[in-house]
Amino acid sequence: PTAPSVMTMNGHFANVGDAPTKEQYEHGIQVINEEKEFNPNLNTYLQLTKTAQSGFNYHLISVFGSQSTGKSTLLNHLFGTEFGVMAETERRQTTKGIWMSKNKKESAAGSGAQAMADNIMVMDVEGTDGRERGEDQDFERKSALFALATSEVLIVNIWEHQVGLYQGANMGLLKTVFEVNMQLFLKDKHSNPRSLLFFVIRDHIGTTPLANLRNTLIQDLTNIWTSLSKPPGLEKSRIEDYFDFSFAALPHKLLQPGPFLTEVGKLGTRFRVGHRASKDHAQLDQELEGGVFLPEYHRRIPADGFSVYAEGVWDQIVNNKDLDLPTQQELLAQFRCDEISREVLVAFDEAILPFEEKQAEGISLGKPAVLKDLGALGKAARVKSIKAFEVEASRYHKGVYTKKRVELEGKIDTRLKALYQGQLTAAHKSGVTAFSDAVSGAVKAGQKKGASYEFADIVEREKKIALKKFETEARSLAIEGVPWSNFKQQYVLYEKDLDEVSGQLRKEEMRRLATRVERWVRSRLGESVGLEFNKLGSGRGGSGAPETGEKPASEKDLWDRIWTLFTATVKEAETRFIERAKSFDANQDEIEVGLWRLRRKSWGVLRAKIDEEVMEGNILLKLRENFEDKFRYDEAGVPRIWRPTDDIEGMYTKAKDSTLKLIPLLSRFQLAETYAAPNLPEWIGTAPASVDQKDEEDLTPIGGVDEEEGKSLEEEMTVLSEAKRQDLVVRFKKTADGVYVEAKRSAIGGVAQ
C-alpha cells in the first residue's frame, strides 16, 4: 500500500469542536501523541465506529516491535487499517505515539467459524528500538504499561534473523513488558488477568521450522524471566502465571508477495474468540486452538467507558504514579455510573416534569388536581430509567454500581414520592368534597320527594364509593417492592376524614330532625294548650262534653293539666327523635344532646304559647267569658232572663269574685297539690358531657336551669308580673261592671216592656 502522508500530527490535540466525521478518522485515531498527551476525542472515535455501544463485546490488540519491522504493514494487511507505513525509499519513523484503529475486515473476512471477532480495536505502538528517540527509553516503558493495562493480545513483531539474539532490541522490550506486567498486576491479584504474547516472525525463510524458532524464543523468554529481579512475594512466580504464548511465521513480503498474502490471510482467521484446550497453564508452548481471544484476557472495561478508563490509566502512567488498576476501575465506575445516571435522569425528567408542573399549578390555584394516568406513567418512567441504568452501568464495578443504583433510585423516588403525595392529597381533598356533596345532595333529593330517606344508608353508600375511588388511585400509584409506595396510612387517614365529615353531616341531619320534632311539638302544644286556656272561658268548669262522662276539669288544676300534657307531648317527641336518630347511626352522646336540646326548646315553645295566651287582650277576653258564663247562665247552663226581683248584685259579686280568683292562679305556673312550680331543672336534666359550644349557641337561657344566667325558677314560672296582674284586675272589673250594668238595664227594660 502507498503511504499516506497525512499521518503525523504535530503539536497538541484540538478540542472537539465541529461535528466529527468518519473521514477525519480514516487512519484511525492518535490516542497518544509524541508529546505524551492523551487525545480527548477517543470516545468520539469509539462512537463513530459504533464500538462504544458494544459493552464487553470488543477486543484490544497492541503491536510491539522494533522500528521499521513492518508492523504497520502487517496490521494494515490483517485488519484493513490504514496505519502509516514507511515508504520503501525513505527510512524514517512514521508511527508516532500510539494509534488506534478499528478492524475494517470484520465482515469481509469469511463467516461462520472463521469469522473474525466483533469490534477488534488495534493499537499501533511507536517502534521501540529507539533509533530516533534513543534518549527516550521512558516512552517504551510507558507505552508497554499502557498496552498491558488495556490489551488482550500483544503482537510481538520480530525478524526471523533476530530470533536467538538474546541481546537484541526485542529482548530489551520483552524485559520491559515483563517488568511492568509484574508491577501492574502485583496490585491486582484479584482478577489476575492474563495476556497473550503473539509472536509473529517476519521474513521467515523456511529453512528453520517454526517449531524450532518457537523453542528458541521460549528458551530466551524463560531466561529473561529468570534474570528479572522480582518484587517481594513474587520471587517464585513463573512467566506462565501471567502469559500465554502463540507463534506464527510470515514469508518475506517483497520477495514472496503471494505466499505472504496467503499466510497473512490465514493469520487473520485466528483473531476470533477462542477456548483453552486444557486448563493447565503450565505448558509454555501449549498452542491455542482456534481463536486468540480467550475471555480471561479481557480487561472487562465496558466499551462506553474505555476512553475514560484509558485516559485515567495514561494520566497515572505519564505522571509516574503507581498504576493501580482496581482503583482506576472503581474511579471509572463512579464516573460512568454518574454519567449514565445523569443521562437516565434527563429522560425521567422529561416524563415527570409535565406532571410536576400541572400539580404545582393546581396547588397555586388552590385547586389541587388529580392527574390522569400518573401512576401508570410514573411507574413506567421509573422502570425505564432504572432498567436503562442497569443495562449500561451494571457492566462496571459491582460495588460502585450497586451504590449508584441505590442513589439513582433515591433520586427518582424522591421525585415520585413528592408527586404521589401531592396526588393523594388532591384525591383526598376532592374525594372528601365529593363525598360531602353526594351525601348532602341525596339528602336534599330525599327531602324534596318527601319520602323518608335513610341517612345512614346514604352515608354508607357514598362512603363506599369514595373509598373505592381513593383506593383505585392509591393502588395505581403503588410500585411493587417499593415500601414507600404503599399508601395504607393515607387511606386510613382518608377514611377517618370521611367519617369526620359524615359525623358533621349527621350532626346537621340531627339538627334538621330536631327542627322537625320541635315543629311538631309546637303545633301539638299550640293546639292542646290553647284548648286548656279556652276551657277557662267556661265558668262552669269547662265541661265541654258532659255526655262523655269526662270529669270536668277544674280551674284549679289548669297548670297540672298543662304540665301533664306538655311532658307527655315531649315524651312522645323524644321517642320519635330517638327512633329516627338511631336509624342514621347517631351515637348515644349525640342522641342525649339532641334530647336535652329538645326538652329545653320545647319548654321555650310552651312558655311562648303561655305568654301568647295571657297576652292582654286574650286573657281579658277569657276572663270576661268566664265571668259571663258564671253570671249569665244558671247551674243547668240555661241563660238567665233578668227580672227586677233577681239578686243581680249578689250574683254579680259571686261570679266576679270567682273569676278574680283565676288571676293569681294564672300568674304563676304551679302545681295544685304542692303550690310549687314543677321541677323543671330535674325534668330538663343536666347538660350531657358531650355538649359543645355550637350545641348551646341558639339556646335561650331558662331560669332555675341555667343558674349562672341570674334568673330563678320562680321568675321562670311567673306568668304575669305583679303590675300586670293589678292592671288585669282593674280592667277585668271594668268589663264585669259593664256586664253588670247591662244586666241591670235589661232587668228594668224587661219590666218596662
Residue 72 sits in the site that holds ligand GDP (CB under 6 A): yes
Hey, what's the cell of 141? Answer: 516503558
- Per CB under 6 A, contacts with ligand GDP among 191-250 are 202-203
Query: Does residue number 151 form part of the binding site for Mg ion (CB under 5 A)?
Result: no
Asked whether position 62 contacts ligand GDP by CB under 6 A, the answer is no
CB under 8 Å to 158, separation ≥6 — which residues? 65, 66, 69, 170, 199, 200, 201, 202
Strands, sheet with 29-32, edge to edge from the N-terminal-most edge strand: 29-32, 98-102, 120-125, 59-65, 153-159, 195-202, 243-249
Among 33, 54, 69, 72, binds Mg ion (CB under 5 A): 72
CB of 84 to Mg ion, least distance (A): 7
Closest residue to ligand GDP using C-beta atoms:
70
Question: Which H or E element spans position 656?
Answer: helix 648-667
- In the complex with ligand GDP, the residue whose CB is nearer, 198 or 455, is 198
Q: Given the complex with Mg ion, which of 43 and 94 has the nearer CB atom? A: 94
Residue 82 beta carbon to ligand GDP: minimum distance, rounded to whole angstroms: 12
How does DSSP assign 109-162, residue by residue?
Answer: S--GGGPPPSSEEEEEEPP-S-TTTTT-HHHHHHHHHHHHHH-SEEEEEEEGGG
Name the residue among 487, 471, 489 with its Cα closest to residue 479: 487
Rank residues 200 and 619 by Cβ distance to ligand GDP and give the closer one. Answer: 200
- Which residue of 141, 142, 214, 253 would you call a contact of ligand GDP, by CB under 6 A? 253
Q: Would you state the torsion angle of the CA atoms of residues 350, 356, 362, 363, taken in this order, to the nearest 10 degrees?
A: -160
Q: Which does 67 bind (CB under 5 to 8 A by kind): ligand GDP, Mg ion, none?
A: ligand GDP
Q: Which is nearer to ligand GDP, 86 or 662 (CB)?
A: 86
Residue 521's binding partner out of Mg ion, ligand GDP, none, with CB under 5 to 8 Å set by partner kind = none
Element (H, E) at 27: none
Q: Per CB under 5 A, does 128 bind Mg ion?
A: no
Residue of 43, 61, 71, 101 that binds ligand GDP (CB under 6 A):
71
- The one of Mg ion, ligand GDP, none whose footprint includes residue 230, by CB under 5 to 8 A per kind, is none
Which of residues 202 and 580 has its CB atom nearest to ligand GDP in the complex?
202
When CB distances are held under 5 to 8 angstroms depending on the partner's kind, the choice from Mg ion, ligand GDP, none that residue 70 binds is: ligand GDP
DSSP output for 149-209: HH-SEEEEEEEGGGTT-TTSHHHHHHHHHHHHHHHHHHS-TTT---EEEEEEEES--SSS-
Q: Residue 202 or residue 609: which is nearer to ligand GDP going by CB? A: 202
Residue 539 binding result from Mg ion, ligand GDP, none, given CB thresholds of 5 to 8 Å by partner type: none
- Closest distance of CB 26 from ligand GDP, Å: 17
Q: Considering the complex, what minimum distance in angstroms separates the CB of residue 172 from ligand GDP? A: 16
Give SS3 for 691.
coil
Report what 202 binds from Mg ion, ligand GDP, none; CB cut-off 5-8 Å by kind.
ligand GDP
Find the binder of ligand GDP among 25, 54, 70, 569 (CB under 6 A).
Answer: 70
CB-wise, 73 or 119, nearer to ligand GDP? 73
Residue 205 or residue 493: which is nearer to ligand GDP going by CB?
205
How many residues bind to Mg ion according to rule CB under 5 A?
Answer: 2
Binding mask 530-559 for Mg ion (x = CB under 5 A): ------------------------------
Pull the grid cell for residue 302: 465496558
Closest to 81 in 3D by CA, of 271, 246, 351: 271
By the rule CB under 6 A, 67 interacts with ligand GDP? yes
Of 33, 69, 430, 538, the one binding ligand GDP (CB under 6 A) is: 69
Q: Please identify, using beta-carbon distances, which residue of 73 and 502 lies nearer to Mg ion.
A: 73
Shortest CB 293 distance to ligand GDP, Å = 23
The residue whose grid cell reads 528453520 is 208
8 A C-beta contact, residue 315 and residue 275: no
With cell 342525649, the residue in question is: 592
> Per CB under 6 A, which region of 193-201, 251-259, 419-427, 538-546 contacts ligand GDP?
251-259
Mask: binding to ligand GDP, 87-116, rule CB under 6 A, as x and -? -x-----xx---------------------
Q: Are 100 and 263 in contact (CB under 8 A)?
A: no
Nearest approach in angstroms of CB 265 to ligand GDP is 14
Per rule CB under 6 A, is residue 280 in the interface with ligand GDP?
Answer: no
* Residue span binding Mg ion (CB under 5 A) among the ranges 88-96, 283-291, 361-369, 393-401: 88-96
User: What residues form DSSP beta bridges with 600?
Assistant: none
The three grid cell numbers given for residue 53, joined into one nine-digit string: 455501544
DSSP 18: S
SS (H, E, C) 461-528: HHHHHHHHHHHHHHHHHCCCCCHHHCCHHHHHHHHHHHHHHHHHHHHHHHHHHHHHHHHHHHHHHHHH
Going from the C-alpha of 526 to that of each of 29, 30, 521, 611, the distances in angstroms are: 109, 111, 8, 12
Question: Are the CB atoms for 326 and 187 separated by under 8 Å?
Answer: yes
Q: Does 485 bind Mg ion (CB under 5 A)?
A: no
23, 243, 266 from 260: Cα distances, Å: 30, 28, 10
Binding mask 115-154 for ligand GDP (x = CB under 6 A): ------------x---------------------------
**In the chain, what are the helix, strand and coil shares in percent, each to the nearest 5?**
60, 5, 35
Angle (CA) 560 565 571, round 5°: 125
Count of positions (residues) in the chain: 753
Q: Name the minimum Å distance from CB 155 to Mg ion.
A: 12
By CB under 5 A, is residue 44 in contact with Mg ion? no
For residue 93, the minimal CB distance to Mg ion (Å) is: 8
Whichever of 124 and 716 has its CB closer to ligand GDP, that residue is 124
Residue 375's binding partner out of ligand GDP, Mg ion, none, with CB under 5 to 8 Å set by partner kind: none
Under the binding rule (CB under 6 A), the answer on residue 86 touching ligand GDP is yes
- Quickly list DSSP for 232-292: TT-TT--GGGTEEEEEEE---TTTSHHHHHHHHHHHHTT-SBEE-SSS----TTPPPEE-S
- 68, interface contact from Mg ion, ligand GDP, none, CB < 5-8 Å by kind: ligand GDP
**What is the Cα–Cα distance from 500 to 506, expressed in whole angstroms?**
10
CA 662 vs. chain centroid, Å, equals: 80
The residue among 75 and 332 lying less far from ligand GDP, judged by its C-beta, is: 75
Q: Are 473 and 370 in contact (CB under 8 A)?
A: yes
Q: Residue 663 has which C-alpha cell?
A: 288571676
Across-strand partners of 122?
61, 101
Nearest distance in Å: CB 213, ligand GDP: 16
For the chain, the C-alpha Rg in angstroms (whole number) is 57
Determine which residue in the list 95, 246, 316, 659 makes contact with Mg ion, applying CB under 5 A: 95
Our CB check for ligand GDP shows the closer of 161 and 512 to be: 161
69 binds Mg ion (CB under 5 A): no
Using CB under 5 A as the criterion, which residues of the chain lie in contact with Mg ion when the complex forms?
A: 72, 95
Applying CB under 6 A, the residues found at the interface with ligand GDP are: 65, 67-73, 85-86, 88, 94-95, 127, 202-203, 252-254
